[in-house]
Each structure stands twice: as C-alpha cells, then as structure tokens.
Structure 1
Amino acid sequence: MNILLTGGAGFIGRWVAKRLLEDGHKVWIVDDLSNGRRENIAEFEGHPGLAAFIEGTILDRVLLAELFSQHAFDICYHLAASINVQDSIDDPQTTFDNDTIGTFYVLEECRKHQVKIVFMSTCMVYDRCMDDNGITENHPIKPASPYAGSKIAAENMVLSYYFAYGLPTVVIRPFNTYGPYQKTGGEGGVVAIFIKNKLTGKDLNIYGDGTQTRDLLYVEDCSRFVVQAGYSERVNGHIVNAGLGRDISINDLALLVSGDSKRIKHVEHIHPQSEIQKLLCNYGKAKELLGWEPAVSLEEGIRLTEAWIASTDLI
C-alpha cells in the first residue's frame, strides 16, 4: 500500500515506519522535527520502500494538499503532535494548533481523497483508574491538561468524520510507551530518563510522593498495535486502548531500574494538577478486534532499553 506517516521521525513513529517498511509498503514520512529526529530514521535512508521524507508541518495545508493529490494513499497514520504535558500548560496554543487544528487539516485531506486515518491519541485523556480491572474505552475522560484537551477535541473530530462521511477512521490510545529511540532528557519518558540517570551515576528524581502508577508499554508492542489498527476494518469508528495490563508505581519503577533506594529522591511536582494517580490499561477490546496483546514484559523491556541507551552516545 501507499502510506502517509505523520510524525514518522519521532520515537513511536520511527518504530511504526520500520514495521510498515518490513511489511512491504511504500511510506511517505512527514515530520517538522520539532520533536522527532532525522537520526531516528537514518537507517531507512535508501530503503526501497521509503518513498520520501518531507521536513514539513501538518499545519501547512498546501503541503498536505500536494501530497494527497500526487500520491494515492491507502492509509494515513497520523502521529504528529505536541506531546509534552508541561509545554501544553506553559504554551497551550502551540499544542492546540498542532494536535487539534493540524489533525483537522489532515482529516480534510483524508476525506477529500477517501483515505483511512489512524489517529494516535493518548491515555492521558482518561480520569484515574479506580480499580484493578483497568481502564476500558468507556472509562470517564478528564482533560487535566491542554494536551489532553487538544487530543480529546481531535478525537471527536476524527470520529465525527466516520459518522458524518463514512470515512474509515480509528482512534488509538496507547498507554505510556517506552523503549529504544525515546529521548532521555526532559522531553523523554520516565523509563528512559531513569535509565540514563542510573547509567550516568545521577539520582533518580521522582515528582511528588511517587505513589502514582503507570502502565508501561514496550515500543515494539505499541508499533505492532498501531500498524494493525490501520490494516483492520473491524476497528473503524472505534476507540481502542493498548497497554501492558499491569501498572507499577513510580517508586517501584525507580527501584526496579536502579536497584538502589539510596539513589532515589523525591522532588516537588511541576504539574500536580495534571497528574493522573493511577493508570492501568484494559486492552480487552484490542485483543478482541485485532487479536493484539503485548508480548514484552516490563522487566524485559527495561533490559532491552537499557542495553540500547548504553550502546549509544546518549550517555
């Protein structure tokens, strides 16, 4: 198939691109490199399936119109977004423009050309999990940050195109994804940051009391889920979760990574008002409709991620 991948030079986008290329598709990647990196996709340069890498923004309607007019896309995997919660609090307009308005522009091209869209949302749209059954797609939402609010607004537009126009659309909500190629600095995920600090002899700093929990999904399991959502018609018009189905407190995660409680420190939370105290995924719908379930345990995923970080110049 001919596939457009927005945000393909980002952390998850890089793994989605890899899987699509391995599956034999022709892939066009659009990324403005505000969060993504050319190095993430350097190994795909010269790959016969990589039709083009375009450094550009989804807010450029002329660029989008040209791409959709010139290439008969079968699927658009739309991952491009501003993803940092604190950035969205400090500068809500940038997040709203990229995550909501940008998604509308992509949707419009998909509608004009009848292209299926897989929209990458986030578990951060949910209210806290109240029990150990996990968060299903029917769980209450709570836009506790402009990032979550922008994603919810975009989700609603994506689903409206399914109901109003019959456009094949799916909203996917992966839980906290980690693994190789994730940034290890301020914009990175907690696992990558903890591992880097461990390897460089620094303390592992935890925001707040550390009792908040996360459901951590290994990136190759996540990319397999993302790609399968595009291939399947059964999920059209649906919202679908993906996660490990196991949560861990940040305190326990820090101890699992470091193995040394003396290196764990607690610091003042930078955005306590947007913290979700318990995140635990119920991925039953993904298993039922896609036959998907995670294959990599948290312990194995951390081992693989640490090995990758240790082998790079990120430390």
Structure 2
Amino acid sequence: MNILLTGGAGFIGRWVAKQLLADGHSVWALDDLSNGREQNIAEFREHPGFKAFIKGSILDESLMESLFHTHSFDICYHLGASINVQDSIDDPRTTFNNDTIGTFYIMEQCRKHNVKVVFMSTCMVYDRCIDEEGITEKHPIKPASPYAGAKIAAENMVLSYYFAYGLPTVVIRPFNTYGPFQKTGGEGGVVAIFVKNKIAGKDVNIYGEGTQTRDLLYVEDCARFVVEAGYSDKVNGHIVNAGLGRDISINELALLIVGDSSRIHHVEHIHPQSEIQKLLCNYAKANELLGWKPLVSLEEGIKRTEQWITSTDLI
C-alpha cells in the first residue's frame, strides 16, 4: 500500500516506518522536525519502499493538497502533533493549532481522497484509574491539560468523519511509550531520562511525591499496535487502547533503573494540576479486535533502552 506517515521522523513514527517498510509498503514520511529528527529515519533513506521524507507542516494546506493529489495513499497514519504537556500549558495556541486544526486539514484530504485514518491520541485524555481492572475505552475522560483537550477535540472530529461520511477511521490511545530513539533530555520520556542519568553517573529527580503510576509500553509493541490498527477493518469507528497492562510508580521505576535510592531526589512538580495519579491500561479491546498484546516486559524494555543509549552519543 501507499502510506502517508505524519510525524514520521518522531520517536514512535520512526518505529512505525520501520514496521511498514518491513511489511512491504511504500512510505512517505512527513515531519516539520519541531520534535522529530532526521537522523531517526536515516537508515531508511536507501530502502526501496521509503519514497520520500517531506519536511513540512500539516498546517500547510497547499502542501497537504499537493501530497494527496500526487500520491494515491491508502492509509494515513497521523502521528504528527505537539506532545509536551508543559508546552501546552505555557503556549496552548501552538498545541491546539497542531493537534486539532492540523488534524482537521488531514481529515479533509483523507475525506476527499477516501484514505483510511489511524489517529494517534494519548492516554493523557483519561481521568485517573481507580481500580486494578485498568482503564478501558469507556473510562471517563478528563482534559487536565490543553494537550489533552486538543487531542479530545481531534478524536471527536476523526470519529465524526466515520459516522458522517463512512470514512474508515480509528482513534488509538497508546499508554506511556518508551524505548530506543526517544529523546533523553527535557522533552524525553521518564525512562529515557532516568536511564541516561544512570549511565552518566548523575542523580535523578522526580516531580512531586513520585507515587504517581505509569503503564509503560515498549516502543516496538506500540508500533506493531499502530500499524495493525491500519490493516484491520474491525477497529474502524472505534477508540482502542494499548499498554503493558501493568503500572509502576515513578519511585519504583527510578529504583528499578538506578538501583540506588541515595541517587533519587524529589523536586517540586512543574504542573501538578495536570498530573494523572494512576495510569493502568486495560488492552482487552485491542486483543479482541486486533489479536494484539504486548510482548516486551518492562525489565526487558529498560534493558534494551539502556543498551541503545549506551551505544549512542547521547550521554
């Protein structure tokens, strides 16, 4: 198939591209590089299925029109977005424009050209988990940040194109994803930051009390979920979660990674109002509709991430 991948030079986008190419598809990767990096996809440049990297924005309507008119896409995996919670609090306009208006521009082109849409949302739209059954797709939502609010608005628009036009669309909500190629600096995920500090011999800082929990999904498991959502008609018109099905407190995670409690410190939280105290995924729907389940344990995923960071120049 011919596939447009927005956010294709991003952390998860890079792994989705790898999976799509391995499956034999033709991939056009679009990214404005506000968060993604060209080196993430450097290894695909000579792959016969990798048709082009386009540096550009989903807010550029003329570019969108040209891409969709020139190439007969079968699926659009729409991962391009502003993803940082604190950035959305500091500058909600940019996040809203990218995540909501940009998604509208994508949807319009997909409607005109009858292209299936796999829309990457986030677990950050949910209210806190209240039991050990985990968060299903029917769990209450709570937009505790402009990022979450923008994603919810975009989700509803994506689903409206399914109901109003019969356009095949699916909203996917992966839980906290980590692994190789994730940034290890301030914009990175908690696992990448903790692992980098461990390797560099630095202490780790935890926002708040550290009792907040996260369900951490290894990036190759996430990419497999994203890709398979595009292949299946069973998920059209649905919202689908993906996660490990196990949560861990940030305190426990830090100790698991660093192994020395004296190197772990707590600092004042930068956005306590947008913190979700407990995130635990129930991925039964993904298993039922896609036959998907995570294959990489947290311990194995951390090991792979540490090996990757050690082998790069990110320290």
One fold, TM greater than 0.5?
yes
Task: Provide the C-alpha distance between the structure 2 equivalents of 1:203 and 1:274, rounded to a whole number of angstroms.
Answer: 25
Q: Partner residue of 1:10?
A: 10
Identity %: 82
Q: Could you give the per-residue CA deviations for residues 262-307 of structure 1, whole angstroms, max 9, x where no partner exists?
A: 0000000000000000000000000000000000000000000000
Pairwise CA RMSD of aligned residues?
0.3
Task: Provide the C-alpha distance between the structure 1 equivalents of 2:276 and 2:268, rounded to a whole number of angstroms.
Answer: 16
The Cα of 1:180 is off from its aligned counterpart by 0.0
Q: Partner residue of 1:150?
A: 150
1:252 paired to 2:252: yes
The Cα of 1:168 is off from its aligned counterpart by 0.1
Q: Partner residue of 1:169?
A: 169
Q: Could you give the per-residue CA deviations for residues 93-132 of structure 1, whole angstroms, max 9, x where no partner exists?
A: 0000000000000000000000000000000000000000
- Secondary structure of the corresponding residue to residue 8 of structure 2: coil
Q: Partner residue of 1:198?
A: 198
- Secondary structure of the corresponding residue to residue 48 of structure 1: coil
Q: Could you give the per-residue CA deviations for residues 229-265 of structure 1, whole angstroms, max 9, x where no partner exists?
A: 0000000000000000000000000000000000000
Task: Provide the C-alpha distance between the structure 1 equivalents of 2:46 and 2:203, rounded to a whole number of angstroms.
Answer: 41
The Cα of 1:46 is off from its aligned counterpart by 1.2
Matched length? 315
Task: Provide the C-alpha distance between the structure 1 equivalents of 2:229 and 2:304, rounded to a whole number of angstroms.
Answer: 25
Q: Partner residue of 1:240?
A: 240
What letter is aligned with 1:172?
I
Q: Partner residue of 2:303?
A: 303
Task: Provide the C-alpha distance between the structure 2 equivalents of 1:204 and 1:212, rounded to a whole number of angstroms.
Answer: 16
1:279 paired to 2:286: no
Task: Provide the C-alpha distance between the structure 2 equivalents of 1:54 and 1:119, rounded to a whole number of angstroms.
Answer: 19
Task: Note the residue ranges of structure 2 that are not aligned, 5 or more in a row.
Answer: none
Q: Partner residue of 2:219?
A: 219
TM (norm. structure 1) is 1.00
1:137 paired to 2:137: yes
1:109 paired to 2:109: yes
Task: Provide the C-alpha distance between the structure 2 equivalents of 1:37 and 1:72, rounded to a whole number of angstroms.
Answer: 26
Task: Provide the C-alpha distance between the structure 2 equivalents of 1:33 and 1:79, rounded to a whole number of angstroms.
Answer: 13
Task: Provide the C-alpha distance between the structure 1 equivalents of 2:35 and 2:232, rounded to a whole number of angstroms.
Answer: 29
Task: Provide the C-alpha distance between the structure 2 equivalents of 1:66 and 1:107, rounded to a whole number of angstroms.
Answer: 15
Show structure 1 runs of 4+ deviating over 2 A: none
Task: Provide the C-alpha distance between the structure 2 equivalents of 1:80 and 1:284, rounded to a whole number of angstroms.
Answer: 26
Task: Provide the C-alpha distance between the structure 2 equivalents of 1:27 and 1:43, rounded to a whole number of angstroms.
Answer: 14
Q: Partner residue of 2:160?
A: 160
- Secondary structure of the corresponding residue to residue 21 of structure 2: helix
What letter is aligned with 2:105?
Y
TM (norm. structure 2) is 1.00
